[in-house]
Structures are given as structure tokens and as C-alpha cells.
Chain A
């Protein structure tokens, strides 16, 4: 029981941390919240 619970909890935490640690792709990306971050705005042509 404990090994199953630890395996599932570990995998959940591992993948969620990977999501949090992965830097976002360059704009335009799929997400609205980071559109106002100046460093992430696409340079003007």
C-alpha cells in the first residue's frame, strides 16, 4: 500500500515540478497571463 501511494505521489510531484521549472516558450504562446511581462513581448519588426 505504502509503496503504491509513494510511487503515485512521487510521480505527481515530479511531473508538476517539471512543469513549474520548464521555462515558457517564446511569445506568442498559448497563455494570456504572461502577455504583459515586458521581457516576454515579441520584439517589434
Chain B
């Protein structure tokens, strides 16, 4: 018998935990940058269409798969997908639903630890009196394990371990007393902090506190539609990709959370409520902070340069702490605590979700108790996460993010949508979605889930696999297909790094690139080893089930 006897405390708690799982740092740091880079206000059109025809269907698919598997006592994807078809290979596809979470948690907890550290630095006044370059240098010093302002040796490692201990302890408390309780505190606080900062983002006046633009300049820059971009496949790929990241679909966490819902209880309305809550945080709050505040003080050209060179992460950590202090020392510190506090709550509600599939797997298959299962997750993430801390400058962090946090989501979502609609069968699948539903699910979704969602996912996957140079699809069709360095195929071949190596003449640069190439390949090998190890455990669990007569 499984040692897993967990339950959710309340329906609102479940929805907040699901929304917390979806709301992450990407809502505040990735979405506005994607919008700026892909047609501004026009981006929102493909984005919302992708939400309706890919995001919502995937939410319903994952919630119903999870609840279906839960009926048979399964709380992780390998054996949830195994119950849906007799082919034994499906459970190895389900390995993605554990592997992705462990690999993503390994770098995500590190990112989360930055936010925790920056909360304390904002409180301690570290950024007060620093200019923009000073704040940016602080970030470089931090991630390169340089000198600590607090005098803590190896401060990033210290905060990483603290963050991991906190995650592990909360996970060990269980679903209702741990994960759900944090969501009930974290989500409302995140929304309050977000609303305060969005208000500040909406009320910047040129000439006040060193601002050079009104809020309207930044908001117009973000929202003015560039309809020429609307027909670009690159923009649609970016919109579809953003929907993946923001909803945390294709990870296995939604299946796990939903597996604790009984079959007669609703999932259709729950999924809509949690999904739209995430959209509110992203479209309303996320779009009103980073870009409007940055453009208010740095101008459009300055922000475009920063976005292109540093991305949303750089803007959030290297620039915003400096900009907050334009409002004075006290308000600067408060805004810093709120900004990084908001990011911390967004991060921890997601990283906690990443721990639950592994814990559920150990409880179901090997009769582990919650507490040791939670600590084993913490230990694995510590071991797997340390390379991202120690070798950050060699791109280990980015490598984990690309394979586990980007490619894997699309691959697993593609498989699960085919399994649900075509292998399990749309009629059975539709019964699962609508069973116990507290809303009427529109019948058109039967068609969308069967045809549109899998085709869209296939297109996203193929589009990412063979992205043409510069995203010029029309040119690729007419002038021959040259792959972009961001395509999966060129990533596998390390084309970008190898070209840089071939062009480099400075011995120091050559050495740095060679070391980066080594660490990039080593990270991939490590990730493959982890995947195969989990697949081995799934095989052992299967054999155990056979021995016990459970199959």
C-alpha cells in the first residue's frame, strides 16, 4: 500500500497553490521583455489566442489526467500516464514529469535565493548611494561568488542552502499544512506588492525624482501594437512559448496537484480560476512594473539596449534596485523589499510544486514517508544545483534552463496531448474533463483538444527544432534553410560556441570558451544521467508492482 494519504485543505487553497505553481519569476521578468521584442501590443493577440487554444486545453488535459491517475493511487506522471494506456513505454515518457521538476528546481532555487538575498540587501540599504553601474557590479560580484557586503563567506551558496532548506522543510510538512499554507500567505502578499509597484509604474511623472519620461511613454512602448509583426511565425512561436512558461504546463506539477482531487469534485472551473489568476498577475501586474519604471528613468533606447544585452533578469536585478532609490532612501528600500519579496513568493510557490511529483513517486512506489521523501528531494537539488552556483559564468545555469525548462516542456506537452486526445481517446477524455464540473465546458474544446492543440504543439516543437536564421521563415523557404543558433539542432551541435572559438584570437578568450564548452557538455551529460536514473527507478517500481501482484 502507498504511504500517501495526503489531501488538500480547501478548494481555495488548491486554486491558490495551482496559481502559485504557475505564477513565477517569468511573469514579471520574461513576459514584458517578450512583449517588447515581439511587436508590443500586437504580441498580446497571439498570446491570448495561444492561451485559449493551447493553454486552457493543456490545463484541462493535465488536471483531468492527474485526477484520473489519482483514482488509482498515482501521484506522479510515470504511473499516471501508465494507467491511460496498456503500452508499457508510456511510463518512461512520464519520466519527464519528474525529471523536469528536479532539473528545473536545481537552478530555479538558486534564482529564488537571489531574490531572498536581495530582500535582505534592500532592507540593509546595500543599494542606497550606489549608481546604476554600482548596482550592476554588485550583481556580477554576487553571481561570481565575490566579496559579500554582509561579510558572509560564499554568500550566494549560503542563501541557496537557506532557500533549499526552507523549501524542503515546507514540503516535509505536507500538502495542506505546508504547500497550501504558503500559497495562502504568498499569493495575496504577491498581489498586494504587485499592485503597489504597478501603481508606482503608472504614476511616474517626467521631471520628478529624476524621471525623464511619464509612465505613459513606457506603457505606450509596451502596448502600442506593431501589426506588421502579427504575421511573423517567430512572434507566434514566442507567444506559444510564453504560454508554456507562464502556466507551468508540460512539467508534471499540475498532474501531481490534481491527483489529490477526488473524481466527483470539479476540475474544469478550478483550472480556469487558477489559469486566469496567473494571467492577471502576468498581463496586468507583470506588464506594469519592469518596463514602465525602467523607461521612466532610462528612456526607451536605454531600456532596449539593456533588454537586448541583459534580458529581463538583468533588468530586474541590475537596474531596478537603482531606480527604486530615485524615490528616496525609505521608499527605495520598501520598493526593493516588495519587488524582491514578490519575486521570492512567485518563486517559492513554484519551486514547492516542483518537489511534489518526486515525493509522490517515492510515497506511492517505495512506501517512503513524506518527511524523508522531502529531504531526499532537497539533497538531490542541492547536488544538482551546486554546479549552477559554482559554474554560473560557464553557462551551466542557462544549459539547465534550456533543456529542462524549455525543450522538455514542449516535448512532454506534445506527448501528453497525443496520449489524451488520440490514445486514451477524446470521448473518455471529455468525460474526465466534464465529470463533476461546476461550469459548462464549451463543446468547441472537444475539437480544439483533439486537433488544434496537438498540431500547435507539433508546430512549436518543429519551429524550435529548425528555427531559420534570424527567424526569417519566408527567406528560409525561398533562399535555402540556414539554421539559427537558437534552434535545437544548432544548440545540440554547440554551433554558436564553436564559431566563437574559431573566430577568437585572444588566448584568454579561447581558454574561457573551451572551458564553457566543457561545462556545457558536462551539464548535458549530467542531465541525461539523471533522466536515465529516474527511468531506472520507474523500471524498479514497475517490477515491484509485478512482484506484489498490483499489475
Contact = CB atoms under 8 A, between A and B. Distances in A.
A6 B182 CA distance: 28
A44 interface: no
Nearest to B267: A30
A30 B44 contact: no
Interface SS, A side: helix
Given A4-B283, A9-B280, A31 B269 contact: no
Nearest to B47: A4
A42 interface: no
Query: Could you say which interface size class chain A belongs to?
Result: 20 to 34
Given A1-B223, A25-B264, A33 B9 contact: yes
Contacts of A24: 11
B284 A30 contact: no
Nearest to B40: A1
Interface in A1-45: 1, 4-5, 8-9, 11-12, 15-16, 18-20, 22, 24-25, 28-34
Given A19-B11, A20-B12, A25 B44 contact: no
A28 B262 CA distance: 9
A11 B55 CA distance: 15
A18 B439 contact: yes
A8 B260 CA distance: 28
Of all A-B residue pairs in the complex, the 4 with the closest CB atoms, nearest first, are A1-B223, A12-B280, A15-B273, A12-B276
25 contacts: A1-B41, A1-B222, A4-B44, A8-B283, A8-B284, A9-B280, A12-B276, A15-B269, A15-B272, A16-B15, A16-B276, A18-B273, A19-B273, A24-B11, A25-B264, A25-B265, A28-B262, A29-B262, A30-B7, A30-B262, A30-B265, A31-B9, A31-B14, A32-B8, A33-B10
Given A9-B284, A33-B10, 13 more contacts: A1-B41, A5-B283, A15-B269, A15-B273, A18-B439, A19-B11, A19-B15, A19-B269, A28-B262, A30-B11, A30-B262, A31-B8, A31-B14
